[in-house]
Structure 1
C-alpha cells in the first residue's frame, strides 16, 4: 500500500527554528573564520551532544561528524565512520518521529478539543478523534521511552556507540499490538478525515490555520497520521544498513538479524489487515455514491459491519437501442451479499454510480457459460488522424453470462471482460462469493427447516391402486399441527386421504379417506379439526383424531363427532380461522350462481356446546352477524385485530365481521388523488397490475400490504406511506406468512424471508415444488409448515416431505433475549383501537 511519504525535513529546536530568522550569507572574513572554528570546537564537546538531544541544533549540524573531533575521525577506520554515521541516524530519526507525534497531540488533537467555536459537532467530536487518530497516544508513549533509552546510551558511549539493538528490540516487543491496531485501521482513519474535509467547510478552514504553524513545516494532516505506518519499515532499512557495516566479530552481527526479522515479519503481517481496511474504504465510497431507482425501497444492509466489497471492475454490456445495439461500460461491484450493475456518471463534479438493474442477491445469482469465443467491439480513436478516425478499430472482448435464478428469461445478462485473464478472475470471484454466501446463510439461519417426521411421502404411481400398507400418499395438499394426550402430531392431507404422524417418527396412520383436502386447521381450545374439502367445510373432534392415531379408538367413534360447518350456501372457495376482538372466528366464502358471499361463524367452547345441544340442538359454530356479498374475484381473507381483509383482484377490501351488512368497507391501499400525484399514480399502476396476498402489521401506525410482486406500506387508514415507495420481491410469490418480525414469501422454488419493518432480505430457502401448508393464525401459535419435493432419497419417483420453519436464537443469547423477543408486542390498548376505523 502506498502511503504518503513524510517530508524529509529534520525537526530543529523550537527555540532556534522559531525564535530566530535565517541570516543572509556574506563573504567569510577572518573574524567569521574564527567564529566557525569556535563553533566546530563547541559541537565536538559534550555541549554539542546536549544541544542535539534538546533539539537546539540547526539541521546542518545534526550529523555525527559535526559532533565528533576531527582527530577522532582520522584515527577511526572508514567503515566504522560510516557505521557511526548510520547509527546516529537512529537517534536523529527517532527524535524527529517523537517530535511529530507530540505535534499531532498538541496541534491537531488538543486543537480540535479546545476549538472555540467548535469545528466539529461536540456530540461527534470524540468519536471523530478516535477514528482519525486511533491509539497514536499509546504509540507515542512507547517511543518516548525508547528515545530516552537511546539518548542515555548515546551519552554513555558517544562518540563511539557500540550498539542500539537491545534498546530497539526491548521496545519492539512491547509496541507490537498497538502498532497492529493502528496500522490496520489507518485506511479507515484517512477516509474519515477526507470525508469530514469534503462535507465540513469549518474543518477545512481550521486545518489551513494549523498548517500555518511553523512547527508543521507545511505538511498536511495525512502526512502526520501516516508516520506510524512508515516508521517501522524505515527503521528496518536503517538497521539493515548498520548490519552491512558491522564487523563479523561484533555482537550485532548475531542480534541485528533477529531484530530485523522481527520487524519485517510484523510489517508483513499487517498487510492483510491494511488490504481489508482499504477494501472497506473503497466499499464505503461506493455506498455513498450509489444512485437508486426512485420509488423503490432497496435495503441491502450496506452498513452492516460484516459487509465487504469482494471484487469490482469495468465490464461492457451490449444494449439494445433505436440504432440497433450499442456498447455500454458498466461498473460492476461484487459485494459479499449482492451483485451491483451500475453506470458511472459525473454530477456536478461528483462521481455517482447509477444502478442500471435491480441488485441481485447472491442467493439468486447463477453463473452461465464462461468459455464463449471473444467478440469484437468497434472503437473510435479520438487522438488519431483523419484517416484513422474513419478506419474502424476493433477491440476483442470476452463474454460471460449470469442470470437471476427466479427470472431466467427477463434477468439474464451477458457481460464482456477486457481480457481472458480478467474473465477468469470474474469467474473465480463470483463462484467463490456465491459459495461463501451459501455457507454463511446455512450457518446463520433466521428460520431453520426441521423435518417433522422421518421418511418421505411417496407419490402414487400411474395406474397403481392405493395401498394403506405402504407410505404411498401422493402429493401433499394440506397439513396442521396437533397436540393431545401429551404428544405432538401432524395431520397430513394428501391425494390418497388424511393421515396423522407423530413428530420425529416414521409411522403414518390413515384417519380419513378424504382425498386432496384444500386446507386443514386445528383449534386446540375448542377441540376441533376443521377440513375444507370438495367445496365444503367439515369438522371432527381433535381428541378423537389423536386417540385414533394412537390406536385407542375406532373410526366410528371419530365419525360420531362429525359436523358439517358450511350449509347449502354454495361452493366454498376458501376458509380461514382466527381471532378478531375477543372471539375466535371461522370465515369462509361461498360462491353461488350470482355472487360470492362472506360468512362469519363464531366458534363455541366445548362446555357451551354440550349445554346448547341438550336444550337447543345447535352445532359448535354459530352465525355471527349477517353475510355480505363481495366481488366475484375474491380468493382469500386475512383476519386482523378487529376487522378482516378480503383479497380481490382489485385490491383488499377491509370490513367489520361483526356487521358485514353495514356496507362500511374500504379498499386498500387508498389511492385517492392519484390523478394529481405522479408518484402515487405510479404506485397505483404497479399495485393494480399485481395480485394482493394479504396484510401484516408493522407497528401501531403502519401496515405492509403484500402483493405477489411487491409490497407497500400504508397507514391504519389505508393511505400509502414512505413517500409512496415500494419493495419488489425477488421471486413472484404465491402465498405469504407472518412469523414474528419476519415476512415469508413462498414461490414454487424459493422461500424469501424479509424483515417486515425494513423489507430487507435476510434469508432465502431453496427447494422444488414448495407449498405453504400452515402458518400460525391463532395467538401464540408459531408453527409454520411447508411441503416440498424430497430429492435426498434414493427411492425412484417423486416424493414429498414436510418441514417446519423454526425461528433460531443467537448462540450468545438466552431464550429470553432471542430475536423473536426483540419484536415489540402490541399492547392491549393498541390492539383494541388499531382497526377501529377505516376512512
Structure 2
C-alpha cells in the first residue's frame, strides 16, 4: 500500500519520505486499533451478554473500560485524517498529539484491571459453554485466529508503542522543521503518561497477588510482603525434584509458593517456606549439567537435559536454600537480572539510609523507578517501559519472560502466568440435551451474524 502519491515522493528527500511513512504507520495503527476494539465488543462482549454465557458483572470485570477507549481513538484517527493533504502527505502532527496524548490517562483503569480480568477469564474458560463459544469464535474468520485475550490486550500493546512511534517520527524530522518542537513536547507527555500508568498498573498487580497468598496455619502476614507496593517479577519455576512452584519477587522479599486451585475458585498461592528478605538473599548461577546443593554433587537427574537452566537462591539467616529451574536460558537470565537489580536497589537504599552523605558518583540501580520494578505481567500489564525497550530490538510486543508456557510467542512471553484451574465448573450448564442443542444453535447464529457484520464492515 502506498503511503502517499508516488509522484510526490520524487520531490521529497529520503528523510522526508521516511517521516511520511512513520506518520502513516501511526495513522494506520489507529485505524486497526479502532476496528479491533469494535470487534471485541461486537463479536465477544455483546453475544456473551445476549446468550447469558457470562453475567453482566463478569463481563464488566473482563472487558473493563474497553468501551470508553473506542471514542478516544476514533477522535485521534479523525484528527490525523483531517491533517492529511489530498496527495496523502501530512505536514504537521505535533499539535494534534500534544492535545490528544493527555487523554491516555483513561488507560489507567483499563490497564490496572487487566490482572483481575485475565484471572477471571482463565477461570471462566473452564466452563463448557464459555469454552465452546470462544473456540467457535477462534475458528471463525473474523478472529484472525486470535483468542479473546489477544483482543483485550491490544490496547495495552498499543499504549507502549506510542513512544516508539513518536521517536520514529522525531528521528526523521529535521531540527528546523516547524513540527519539531511540538513533537518533542508530545514525546515528553507520552513518556510521562505511560510511566504513570505503568506505576499504577504495577501497584494493582502487586495488591492482586498479595491478596491471593495463603499463609500456613492462619499465621500472620509477613511484614515485608504486607508493605510491598511493587512486584518486580513472578512466574513458574521448578525445584530440583521437578515440583512446580510459583515464585514472587516483591521489592523487598522473595516468596516461594505452590499454586492451589479448586473448582469455581480463583487460584491461590500457598507459601512453601519462610519468605527471604532481599537484604539476606544470596544468588548463584548454576552451570548446566551440574547442580551444587550444599556441596559439589549432581542432582537426581540422570538426563543432562533436565539439569539445565538452574540457579540457586539462599538465605544468609536461617540457612534455607533452593535450586530453581527456569523453562529456558532466556527465562533463567531474566530471573537472575531481576534478582540482581532487586539486591542492588536494596543495597543502595540501605547505604543511603545509613550514610546520607554517600559519594554521589556511586552507581545506584533505579529498580524502584523502572518498569521492571513496576510489575512484570502475567496480563499484563504491564511491564510497559520494559516492553518499549524490547520493541526497539524485536518487532512485536514482548515482556519480561518469567513463565513457562507462551500464549503468544510473538506478542508476550509471559502471558499465562497462572496455572489452569483444575476441574470442570458445571454452573450454567443446560439440564438436558435438547436445551443444550438450542443454546448451541443460538451461539452459532450469533457467531454467524457477527461474521456477516464483519463482512459488511469490510
Q: TM-score range by the shorter chain?
A: 0.5 to 0.7
8 Å Cα contact 1:307/1:335 also seen in 2 = no
RMSD, matched Cα: 5.1
The separation in 2 between residues aligned to 1:72 and 1:366, in whole angstroms, is 63
- The answer to whether 1:277 aligns with 2:204 is yes
Aligned residue for 2:294, secondary structure, equals strand
Q: Which residue of 2 aligns with 1:130?
A: 60
Q: Which residue of 2 aligns with 1:246?
A: 173
Q: Which residue of 1 aligns with 2:294?
A: 376
Relative distance call for 1:334 and 1:249 in structure 2 (3 A) is: closer
CA offset at residue 262 of structure 1? Answer: 0.7
Aligned pairs for 1:755-794 (under 5 A) are: none
CA offset at residue 370 of structure 1? Answer: 8.8
Relative distance call for 1:157 and 1:356 in structure 2 (3 A) is: closer
Aligned pairs for 1:585-604 (under 5 A) are: none
The separation in 2 between residues aligned to 1:163 and 1:368, in whole angstroms, is 52
Relative distance call for 1:308 and 1:113 in structure 2 (3 A) is: farther
The separation in 1 between residues aligned to 2:145 and 2:313, in whole angstroms, is 48
CA offset at residue 110 of structure 1? Answer: 0.9
- Figure out how many residues of one structure are paired with residues of the other and give that number: 311
CA offsets 1:26-82 (integer angstroms, 9 cap, x no match): xxxxxxxxxxxxxxxxxxxxxxxxxxxxxxxxxxx3x314xx2x4333233333222
Determine which structure has the larger helix proportion and give its number.
2
- The answer to whether 1:266 aligns with 2:200 is no
**Which of 114, 133, 143 is 1:186 aligned to?**
114
CA offset at residue 162 of structure 1? Answer: 0.7
Q: Which residue of 2 aligns with 1:158?
A: 87
Task: Name the TM-score, length of structure 2 as normaliser.
Answer: 0.54
CA offset at residue 141 of structure 1? Answer: 1.2
The separation in 1 between residues aligned to 2:24 and 2:174, in whole angstroms, is 17
Q: Which residue of 1 aligns with 2:139?
A: 212
- The answer to whether 1:416 aligns with 2:321 is yes
8 Å Cα contact 1:315/1:330 also seen in 2 = yes
The separation in 2 between residues aligned to 1:72 and 1:114, in whole angstroms, is 51
Unaligned runs of 5+ in 2: 283-291, 325-335, 351-458
- The answer to whether 1:112 aligns with 2:22 is no
8 Å Cα contact 2:236/2:247 also seen in 1 = yes
8 Å Cα contact 2:115/2:208 also seen in 1 = yes
8 Å Cα contact 1:343/1:353 also seen in 2 = yes
CA offsets 1:591-611 (integer angstroms, 9 cap, x no match): xxxxxxxxxxxxxxxxxxxxx
Q: Which residue of 1 aligns with 2:3?
A: 64
Relative distance call for 1:210 and 1:285 in structure 2 (3 A) is: farther
The separation in 2 between residues aligned to 1:209 and 1:145, in whole angstroms, is 33
- The answer to whether 1:221 aligns with 2:157 is no
Aligned pairs for 1:425-574 (under 5 A) are: none
8 Å Cα contact 2:293/2:323 also seen in 1 = no
Unaligned runs of 5+ in 1: 1-60, 318-325, 390-394, 403-413, 433-839
CA offsets 1:227-271 (integer angstroms, 9 cap, x no match): 211213323322222222223322111111110111112112222
The separation in 2 between residues aligned to 1:98 and 1:368, in whole angstroms, is 47
The separation in 2 between residues aligned to 1:76 and 1:369, in whole angstroms, is 61
Aligned residue for 2:321, secondary structure, equals strand
Q: Which residue of 2 aligns with 1:145?
A: 75
CA offset at residue 343 of structure 1? Answer: 6.3
The separation in 2 between residues aligned to 1:380 and 1:351, in whole angstroms, is 34
CA offset at residue 399 of structure 1? Answer: 4.6
CA offsets 1:725-758 (integer angstroms, 9 cap, x no match): xxxxxxxxxxxxxxxxxxxxxxxxxxxxxxxxxx
The separation in 2 between residues aligned to 1:368 and 1:84, in whole angstroms, is 51
- The answer to whether 1:167 aligns with 2:101 is no
**Which of 76, 79, 97 is 2:12 aligned to?**
76
8 Å Cα contact 1:375/1:398 also seen in 2 = no
CA offset at residue 217 of structure 1? Answer: 1.2
CA offsets 1:784-808 (integer angstroms, 9 cap, x no match): xxxxxxxxxxxxxxxxxxxxxxxxx
Relative distance call for 1:72 and 1:330 in structure 2 (3 A) is: closer
Q: Which residue of 1 aligns with 2:123?
A: 195
Relative distance call for 1:396 and 1:341 in structure 2 (3 A) is: closer
8 Å Cα contact 1:283/1:309 also seen in 2 = no
CA offset at residue 300 of structure 1? Answer: 6.4
8 Å Cα contact 1:243/1:252 also seen in 2 = no
Relative distance call for 1:260 and 1:283 in structure 2 (3 A) is: same
8 Å Cα contact 1:282/1:309 also seen in 2 = no
8 Å Cα contact 1:400/1:416 also seen in 2 = no
The separation in 2 between residues aligned to 1:235 and 1:161, in whole angstroms, is 18
Aligned pairs for 1:681-830 (under 5 A) are: none
Larger CA Rg, structure 1 vs 2: 1
The separation in 1 between residues aligned to 2:345 and 2:11, in whole angstroms, is 68
Aligned residue for 1:75, secondary structure, equals coil
Determine which structure has the larger strand proportion and give its number.
1
CA offset at residue 353 of structure 1? Answer: 6.3
- The answer to whether 1:96 aligns with 2:32 is yes
Relative distance call for 1:75 and 1:308 in structure 2 (3 A) is: closer
Q: Which residue of 2 aligns with 1:722?
A: none
Relative distance call for 1:227 and 1:247 in structure 2 (3 A) is: same
8 Å Cα contact 1:109/1:129 also seen in 2 = yes
CA offsets 1:432-451 (integer angstroms, 9 cap, x no match): 9xxxxxxxxxxxxxxxxxxx
CA offset at residue 98 of structure 1? Answer: 0.8
CA offset at residue 367 of structure 1? Answer: 13
Task: Name the TM-score, length of structure 1 as normaliser.
Answer: 0.31
CA offsets 1:610-659 (integer angstroms, 9 cap, x no match): xxxxxxxxxxxxxxxxxxxxxxxxxxxxxxxxxxxxxxxxxxxxxxxxxx
The separation in 2 between residues aligned to 1:235 and 1:330, in whole angstroms, is 36
Q: Which residue of 2 aligns with 1:87?
A: 23
The separation in 1 between residues aligned to 2:97 and 2:200, in whole angstroms, is 24
